[in-house]
Amino acid sequence: MAFQDEIKEVFGYFGQRGNALCYRYEAEWLVIEPWGRNSLRVRSTKQAEMPKEDWALLTPEEICTPEIETREDGGSITNGKIRAEINLIGKLTFFNEKGEVLLEEYLRNRKDMFGSTCSSLEVEAREFKPIIGGDYRLSMRFISAPKEKLYGMGQYQQPYLDVKGADLELAHRNSQASVPFVLSSLGYGFLWNNPAIGRVNFGKNITTWEAFSTKKLDYWITAGDTPAEIEEAYANATGKVPMMPDYAMGFWQCKLRYQTQEELLEVAREYKRRNLPISVIVVDFFHWPCQGEWKFDPVYWPDPDAMIAELKEMGIELMVSIWPTVDYRSENFREMKGKGLLIRVESGYPISMDFQGNTLHYDATNPEAREYVWQKAKQNYYDKGIRVFWLDEAEPEYTVYDFENYRYHLGPDVQVGNIYPVMYAKTFFDGMQKEGQENIINLLRCAWAGSQKYGALVWSGDIKSSFPSMKNQVAAGLNMGIAGIPWWTTDIGGFFGANVADPNFHELLVRWFEYGCFCPVMRLHGYRWPLQPQYGTTGGAACVSGAPNEVWSYTEEVYEILSSYLRLRENIRPYVAKQMQKAHEKGTPVMRPMFYDFPEDEICWETETQYMFGPDVLVKPVTDAGATKVCLYLPNGSTWRNAWTKEEYEGGRWLTIDAPLHQIPLFTRNGYELPVEG
In angstroms, the CA 570 to CA 572 distance is: 6
| 8 Å CB contact between 211 and 194 | yes
| 8 Å CB contact between 102 and 223 | yes
In angstroms, the CA 127 to CA 120 distance is: 18
| 8 Å CB contact between 409 and 342 | no
Cα dihedral 536, 541, 543, 545 in deg (nearest 10): -70
Tell me the residue ranges of DSSP E strands in 374-504: 388-391, 406-408, 411-412, 442-444, 456-459, 488-489, 498-499
- Tell me the pLDDT tens digit for each residue of 330-389: 999 999 999 999 999 999 999 999 999 999 999 999 999 999 999 999 999 999 999 999
- Tell me the pLDDT tens digit for each residue of 479-514: 999 999 999 999 999 999 999 999 999 999 999 999
Catalytic residue among 462, 514, 550, 601: 462
Written out in words, the top-level CATH class of the domain with range 246-586 is alpha beta
> Are domains 4-238 and 593-669 of this chain identical in fold?
yes
Domain 593-669 listed as CATH 1.10.10.60: no
Position 671 pLDDT exceeds 50? yes
pLDDT, residue 3, reads 46
Q: Which pLDDT band, with edges at 50, 70 and 90, does 2 fall under?
A: very low
- Mean pLDDT, all residues of the chain: 96
Catalytic residue among 105, 395, 397, 514: 395
Which residue type is seen at 408? Y
Q: Which pLDDT band, with edges at 50, 70 and 90, does 622 fall under?
A: very high
Catalytic residue among 229, 231, 327, 392: 392
| 8 Å CB contact between 423 and 409 | no
List Cβ neighbours of 337 (8 Å cut-off, separation of 6 or more).
Answer: 360
Mean pLDDT for 30-51 is: 97
pLDDT, residue 114, reads 54
- Tell me the pLDDT tens digit for each residue of 515-574: 999 999 999 999 999 999 999 999 999 999 999 999 999 999 999 999 999 999 999 999
pLDDT, residue 117, reads 60
Strand partners, 603: none
Tell me the residue ranges of DSSP E strands in 305-455: 317-322, 325-327, 344-345, 359-361, 388-391, 406-408, 411-412, 442-444
Three-state secondary structure call for residue 610: coil
Q: Phi/psi at 556 (nearest 5 deg)?
A: -65, -40
pLDDT, residue 12, reads 54
Order across the sheet with 177-184: list the strands: 8-9, 14-17, 20-25, 28-34, 39-45, 216-223, 188-192, 177-184, 150-155
Of 1-15, 158-172, 405-419, 595-609, the range with the lowest mean pLDDT is 1-15
| Cβ atoms within 10 Å of 305's Cβ, excluding its own | 11
Which residue type is seen at 592? R
Of 4-18, 234-248, 283-297, 619-633, the range with the lowest mean pLDDT is 4-18
Q: Which pLDDT band, with edges at 50, 70 and 90, does 243 fall under?
A: very high
- Tell me the pLDDT tens digit for each residue of 264-315: 999 999 999 999 999 999 999 999 999 999 999 999 999 999 999 999 999 9
In angstroms, the CA 162 to CA 184 distance is: 10
Share of the chain above pLDDT 70, in %: 97
* H/E stretch holding 83: strand 82-87
162 is catalytic: no
pTM check: above 0.95: yes
Ordered by start, the domain boundaries in the chain are 4-238, 246-586, 593-669
Which residue type is seen at 218? D
CA atoms within 13 A on the CB side of 145: 14
List Cβ neighbours of 144 (8 Å cut-off, separation of 6 or more).
Answer: 202, 203, 204, 205, 206, 207
Is residue 274 classed exposed, middle or buried when 0-12, 13-18 and 19+ CB atoms within 10 A define those classes? middle
In angstroms, the CA 614 to CA 636 distance is: 17
462 is catalytic: yes
CA atoms within 13 A on the CB side of 52: 3
Written out in words, the top-level CATH class of the domain with range 4-238 is mainly beta
556 is catalytic: no
Q: Which pLDDT band, with edges at 50, 70 and 90, does 113 fall under?
A: low
Nearest to 53 by CA among 62, 63, 64, 43: 43
